[in-house]
């Protein structure tokens, strides 16, 4: 992605001044490097699993969690048994 495209995309969500500052900071720190930007899947799963554990501790049964999150009973048991 080119600098102008990056700035335009950031401006849509951050506003123009913040977008320019973000682009300047990225260039100053990593200019010339190739970056692999994560897609957020791992973070979303971590937040989902934390929410499942919180709800389970609050007394929500596995059947309700299965229906809400669309996961198998086996996978839910694995999530609630983990300590992350």
- pLDDT by position in tens, the chain (length 84): 889 999 999 999 999 999 999 999 999 999 999 988 899 999 999 999 999 999 999 999 999 999 999 999 999 999 999 976
pLDDT at 2: 87
**Which among 39, 23, 81 is positioned nearest to 56, based on CA atoms?**
81
Phi, psi of 33 (to 5 degrees): -90, 155
pLDDT confidence of residue 83 = 76
Query: Collapsing DSSP states into helix, strand and coil, what is residue 41?
Result: helix
For residues 5 and 19, give the distance between their C-alpha atoms in angstroms, rounded to a whole number.
11
Q: pLDDT at position 41, please?
A: 95
Report helix, strand or coil for 35: coil
DSSP for residue 27: H
Q: Which two tokens stand for residue 7?
A: 């700035």
């Amino acid at each position: 992605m080119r600098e102008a495209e990056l700035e335009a995309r950031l401006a849509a969500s951050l506003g123009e001044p913040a977008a320019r500052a973000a682009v300047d900071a990225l260039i100053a720190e990593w200019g010339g490097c190739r970056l692999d930007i994560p897609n957020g899947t791992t973070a979303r799963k971590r937040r989902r699993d934390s929410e499942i554990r919180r709800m389970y501790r609050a007394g929500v049964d596995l059947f309700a969690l299965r229906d809400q999150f669309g996961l198998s009973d086996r996978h839910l048991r694995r999530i609630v048994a983990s300590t992350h």
